[in-house]
Amino acid sequence: MRFTLDPELAQFESQVRDHLRSAMTPELVEQIHTTGVFHDYEFTRGLAEKGWYAADPAQGERMSPFQTQILIAELHRADAPMYLGETTRMVASVVRQVGTPFVQERVLDGAANGDVTIALGFSEPECGSDVAAASTRAVRDGDDWLINGSKMFTTNGHIADYVFLLARTDPEQPKHKGLTMFLVPTNSEGFDAQAVWTLSGERTNITFYSDLRISDQWRIGEVNAGWQTLLLALEDEHASGWGPHIARLLEHAERWAADTKDASGIARIDDPDVRRRLARAAIEVEVSSLLLSRCAWLEETGQRIEAEGPMSKLFSTEALERASQDFNEMVGPDALRSPFDPTAPENGQIQQIMRFSLGTTIYAGTSEVQRTIIAQRGLGLPR
């Protein structure tokens, strides 16, 4: 595998960074913080104009796995409003593989240019990470389906055009076998989204489906084969890396250490304990980057990503938690000041990233789920 970028990829990385420096305006950063919504249509259009928005356009030349990794890493590092674009890309890939011509015609082109957006409807209020225990029901009614139930953590569901919904279609079958996936238009009668605020201030949603009727043409994959359809999406979601957030946090910590002096007038960065903490985080940035690069390399060489994706996700999210808690302890009580508080070190980003980090070990499957996948697929252990 590659350990350094070749000149073409390095140039692409530089182009992405230049674009984000101009696109992530102070006004946009404040808007994201005050609303908790990580999506902005003007920002999205800017990415789409460069062919970067969905990172997997329905037509034309696809980005390479390494280009996609670079793009997503730089979006994370800039804390850009990119989550709805990522979920749209993920679902569009599934639609391309197993969606009906009806859905493909309505979704794929728009998903590539930002005109169509898709949120995820997997988790439920009583199920936690056990997605297969979904109780939201879809009952066949002629050529239609009637859907009743609710989904939790449907982030961006209040602004997305569609929700990629997992519903139970045969309660008599084992829980993994009686499920079906649908793409639900959010303008359907019977759909509602209510805000839920996370510890980091991000807005997610609980979404409700009350006698919501959709045509069978909105079904994605075979009836009662929803778990297999879902896995097509989760393979991509599990192969995520959060190292760029550690790198962003490290930049703030290094700048604070260089600019701050202790009671004796000595710069904090000259303190061996501070340097040890910074070095440990820098090492974990590098490990996180290499784990994610291995996933891109496997995809580029036509190999299947098995345990490698969960390894990347597990290590980088837990490393982000470790580093953020370590740096809050290093900075002390002042680290707890909020963003946009003029007295807050590094504009409050050290504590903001710590609050954000706690959710990352849950997103896309908890650390326990990731360890189970690694044990089964990587080590061949029994269930």
Give the pair of three-digit tokens for residue 21: 């420096």
- Pick the catalytic residue from 237, 300, 306, 318: 237
Residue with tokens 């784990």: 291
Tell me which DSSP letter residue 64 carries.
P
d(CA 282, CA 377): 29
Regarding the domain with residue range 7-113, which homologous superfamily does it belong to in the CATH classification? Answer: Acyl-CoA dehydrogenase/oxidase, N-terminal domain (1.10.540.10)
The hierarchical CATH code for the domain 118-225 is: 2.40.110.10
Contact present, 68 and 56 (Cβ < 8 Å): yes
**Which residues are registered as beta bridge partners of 133?**
none
The CATH fold assigned to 239-378 is Butyryl-CoA Dehydrogenase, subunit A; domain 3 (1.20.140)
d(CA 208, CA 190): 8
CATH 1.20.140.10 in the chain is located at 239-378
For Cα atoms 188, 46, 249, give the angle at the middle one, nearest 5 degrees. Answer: 95
**Which residues are registered as beta bridge partners of 206?**
194
Select from 139, 163, 144, 181 the least CA-distant residue to 88.
Answer: 163
Beta-strand relationship, 137-141 and 179-185: unpaired
Burial of 288 per CB tally in 10 Å (0-12, 13-18, 19+): buried
CATH 1.10.540.10 in the chain is located at 7-113
CATH 2.40.110.10 in the chain is located at 118-225
Q: Is 286 a catalytic residue?
A: no
22-34 residue pLDDT tens:
999 999 999 999 9
> The pTM is what?
0.89
252-307 residue pLDDT tens:
999 999 999 999 999 999 999 999 999 999 999 999 999 999 998 998 899 988 89
Task: For the chain, 383 residues long, give each residue's pLDDT as a single digit of tens.
Answer: 567 788 999 999 999 999 999 999 999 999 999 999 999 999 999 998 888 876 444 444 568 889 989 999 999 999 999 989 889 988 998 999 999 999 999 999 999 888 999 999 999 988 777 888 899 999 999 999 999 999 999 999 999 999 999 999 999 999 889 999 999 999 999 999 999 999 999 999 999 999 999 999 999 999 999 999 998 877 665 567 899 999 999 999 999 999 999 999 999 999 999 999 999 999 999 999 999 999 989 988 999 888 999 999 999 999 999 999 999 999 999 999 999 999 999 999 999 999 999 999 988 788 998 999 999 999 999 98
Give the pair of three-digit tokens for residue 67: 């280009």
CA 270 vs. chain centroid, Å, equals 36
